[in-house]
Structure 1
Amino acid sequence: MATEPPHNSGSFDATDVPPGPVDDPIHTISNLIAWADEPSEETVDDEFGEADNQLIQVSLGIASGLFYSLQAKHFPTASHSLRVAKLCSRWAAILDLEAYQRDQLEVAALLHDIGKMGVPDYVLACPGKLAAEEQLLMDRSQDIGLEILSACCDGEEIVDLIRFNYAWFNGTHGNYNLKGKDIPIEARMLAIVDAFDSMTVDQIFRRARSTERAFAELFSYAGTQFDPDLVSNFCEMMSHPLPTEAQSTRNWLRVLSPEHANKHWRVNQQGANPSKLRSQAPFQDSLVRHIHDAVVFIDINLQILGWNQAAERLTGLTRDAVEGHYWTSELLGLADHQGRKITSETDPVRVAIAAGTQGMHRLSIRNAAGKFVTVTAHIVPVVGEDGKNLGTTIQMHDTSGVESLEEQIQSLHYRATRDPLTGLVNRAEMDRGLIDMVERHTTIGRSCSVIICDIDFFKKINDTFGHQAGDEALISFANLLQMDARSADICARYGGEEFVVLCPSCNNEEAALLAEKIRSDLAAMPQSALGGKNMTASFGVTEIQRGDTADSILNRADRALLQSKEMGRNIVTQIGNGLKEPAIGDRRGWFTRLIAPAEPEVLLKRAMKTKVPLNLAAEKIRGFVADHRAEVLNVSDESIKIMVDGESLPLQRRVADRAVPLIIELRFSPITGENGGQHTMVQISISPRRNRDRRKRDAIERARHLLMSLQSYMVAYEFVDTTIAAEEEQPTWWSKLWGKPRKVESR
């Protein structure tokens, strides 16, 4: 229904009407309308003629200034209030209400919309449907009107009439303690007349409805929003001709006097209900005034109500300069913590008022010195007892000192972990990153890779173009690494002209493609520091393998780099087969492992086959020895025995764990492949250096890691040779028991 927000009215019956007319001339409204039969010669040329202005003055007395303020603020609202007052007066005269009731009803009708003085002009002039935030401002006008009248009206009768004007007859709308006939009859009448005039007069947001349509709307809401008996009485009254406007006004003025009207208006010595936004006890005032943080109070209309001393010190704006003015983000040069300007749409203060939600924001504001500082702003909506939003409070804490300390810490960490020339990660930070990457990817079983690259003939660059040009060449290459690398990769300067790229979640093929892209981009890039000439670099690439440590994977990548240089430079070389080969496990059945455990002298024993000639297999073993820092104990034409110190092995649980050196013996024998190619078969056995070391609980697990690493280096697969197995057959307690030989199963 297109009426004013929730109205309350009560049903009309004989008990509501005074027993008879009261003709006491002392009362101003009791003889309000003496209907005249002869037409008046007076005419009113405009909305507020001289007679209307006199009527307002004698009806409101000294409070007429309130009405004229509303007229200056929004002329259509004042015109509506005057029409409602006149119609209520006529209706009250027909119902023979008591004189004091008619007085109060007229004053309440004239001022029932006084709260719209607190609504922004753009909301009152909105031609279409109001937005949620604008509707909230319009609803708030009811409370503003009650606060204005409470501060200057002597007694609560008129204020109560306006308050219960917004209540519904059946009590289903709003938090009112009255409903039905308990609501004053004047409030129920005002609700009906207010709605009728709103519907039958052109509004900026819709055209006027016909009288019949307005009657239909009133009847449709009779019993819910309006008193049904009063609706019937009002519609019956409006269906009969009314006296002329000028005649009724003339008779009204004959009995009104400003002296009588002023009885409603005087300074409220008892102190009427003050604004909830401004009522603060002295200790609260003192607390807010002297608190270290800046505190600001803003009402629902974005008007600044409070500005404490800390806010003055922080912003340089005095309390007198800002209180009473409207809040805007430009007032403090508001920006987010990244320096981006905040607009009215993103202003957290407006958002808090509209949404009714609090929040903590890191903002930048302009301080008293004109410089921008960072503050932590705690914005909290203020909600009244009736659940309506009254405004918001802002508490701002200057965090520029804390932020400066954080920036200093970040700066120190950056300088401690970065190469000062290229800005890449330095070697110490790269070592930590490599250890973390290897441990993490070993645990989850996912591939990761390392790229080592070295600028070719860098000494010649320094000797020919000077060290300054050499530095610029290093910077240019570092920028290219960062540009081509993935976002998750870590680019580091390893030392001199050597660089490392750590590639998490990346296999050999992907890392080799990345290295090739960097190589080709560098070769095609003219260097201004070198007189427009190009420079090249060599690359070594490898992927993590089973049993790898941070040292072994880095050493293998370095060997790949050396091979690139030996092959002529400006080349990408990739070594290792990664995690493609399946893990080697114990293939015996559980019953065999339980009854016949392996001999304690040998931890692991395997026969493997690699599809490379014997000499190349020996070269791969040489790489294993170099990467694991192993010691060669014995070498023959067909075998090699090496010792791996436990310090270089993974899986050391505690610092106090004693290292367990392991002996690896490899026997090679050339064989012919299916296609006639030269392959190599390798028998591998791993045992502790001393017999007592076999009691070390993690010795077998470390031996398995070494076996997997050997398998990766040689690109070998497990091979079961029945001839070799037959040579290992020997009697055991099991064969003695059953009279049959048993083949020894290696662990």
Structure 2
Amino acid sequence: MTLTSDSAVLDLVTSAGNGDVVPYTSYPLDSSRVLLGLVNLVRRAERDTAPERADANLCSLISPRVFRSLLNSLLFRDPATLRHSQRVGRLATGLAKYLGWEDRNLRAIQIAALLHDLGKVGVPDSILFKPARLNSDELRLMTKSYLIGVDLLEMCRVDPLIIRIITDSHHRYSREPGGNAIFSDIHQGARILVVADAYESLSNDQVFRRAKAHDEILKLLNENAGTQFDGNIVSALQRWIHTYGPPALDGTMNDDDSLIHYYQPASDAELAEAANFSHLFSYMQTLDELYDGFSIIDCSRRMLVWNRGAVKTHRRPAREVLNTIWKPQVFGYADDRGVPLATSQCPLEAIFATGSSYAATLNMTDGEGEPVSVELQAFPLIDRNQRLQAVAEIYRRTERDEASNVSPEVHALKMMASRDALTRVANRGELDSQIEQLLKKYNSESQSEVFSVIFVDADHFKSINDKHGHTVGDQVLVELARLLQHESYSGEIIGRYGGEEFIVLCPATDVELAVRKSERFRMSIQSMRFADYPSLRITASFGVSQVVNGDTVASLVERADKALYQAKQTGRNRTCHLMTTDARRSAHRFSTDEEEDPLRLMQRFYIGVGQSVVPKMAGFVEAHRAKLLVVEPGRVKMQCGQGTIFGMWGWTNSTRPVILEIVLPELLEEQRGHASRRGPNSPEAICVTIQPKGRPNSQAIFQNRAKLLMQDLKSYLVPCDRQPGMGV
């Protein structure tokens, strides 16, 4: 079968067997006929939603006939693209199954993989098969084509899960700047699809490069893990391949694939329909380039099509518009002077009355009640029997937003403005923007989801620069950022706050879970090794805080910074967090001086040179009936006060247990292999923290008891003044 066309007529011809060609169909290629093909596709999708028409193998995710038609369109446009999609589907479903996906979700990711390149149906050969890097205009057209493919799937009533996977797969794993989506919103199915797509593409020859070997592909995926790809999905792919061997990507289909009958060769009639789809894509691309949105209303005044451009122009979600009955008062039609139009003067009613096209500049009311000025064109969709089937409306805002037409070069500049130049993670400005978005979401939803901030600081980083040089120091920061990205698998946002400080923003994470994440980060950092510097070791300290009502970006980050300071002061290489009471006070009194926590007493002081802490503590332990919980070089933790045979009921204010922790920060650092920063005659720094075990009867009673304990402890340890000029 051969497709030929001129500027006005489309001829689909078949071979007559003797070398001649016989016309299959021939008709003018006008807007009405092209959009009628879309109307028929949508109606077919709606009819197939009936249970008796459903295909159990498709799990009601997509109309069987629409699915077959879309696959035929890919086959007609470029058989290699369909084969690529089939191989990606095999990879994506295998990887998803390995990760525990089942049943309907597994089928959804397979269908998403098969249709993720649907937008290529409308891409010209000069771009689709270009044997070189695409220029900025070509890249922009490719991006628009992908979006048009998603548009068509939505019009065909494809399940939202498939739409979500395909849409999210066209975002980079590291969230692009300037968007409204939160990074953690990228669906796991999309992350799987991106990795499967990249692996398949790299394993086969392309017009612009040769195929790469398996090990080389994995190396490239790992190098881009945490930025372009989800590092945990890449690791899962490696484990899957290590366990079951590299997948067969030879283009053959599995006999046990229940969708195999959808891949059967297309009939002549199906190929004719596929040819029309190609023109539908091209037409939708033209609409997307020149206008801001379009809709189609059938003769019963039912909203049949409402594309993403119409959603953006009118600020009305498709779910609120599709299948509803068109009502002029909903859209608030008015002329360019603001005078409301009578129902008979509205574009739709005018076309039903006259059968003629319509064009005017109108004021309409969007979904938020705001006026929007549009150039509106409307025209009837007439079938070949000259019957009116539907009306199409095309919208163009009089004040167009050109942001969607920015070139890749401008986009690259925006990326540079949001990324740290050294580590390529988010910079401080982007972090603030992301926290601001999460705060808005937290404050605007009645069932708001908490999130947490983790402040990370590399310990003794200056000594690395001093000993090994700034080049090595920079490499340590790059590796530290990469480790944080690889160890993040729940949508965390990693950013460099400045110097050796990083922030991990954790959506949908309370403080307890954030502390556990911090500990995982801390242990991984402690285990880092550097091939060129085998003796180099690093540790990091962590401060954690959870959002509370009334928080601002500044108060939330400041609270995490205070927790980090506490971790630094109590020995480094540890995680500290502020209690909920601390958080609430910090949010509401952020501008005041630092206050003490009523449920924690913490003091730092010094003891004289040569004093031994443990012998001096023996009398204190005996006097307060203390139970030692932790005894290690540089740290002692004990419970002062004990329960009675009556449990909690036997406690008095003077015997209620409290937890007392003593830390010698400098000794801890020396035990971890860091050079001592104090002179031989320097006093020993001690940090003491006292907290209640359980909930005390009152904060005042706890404070009184804690202060008495602290005073008694000092009588045993005998604090001294810090000598001037001595480092800590």
TM-score, normalised by the number of residues in structure 2: 0.32
Q: Which has the larger Rg? A: 1
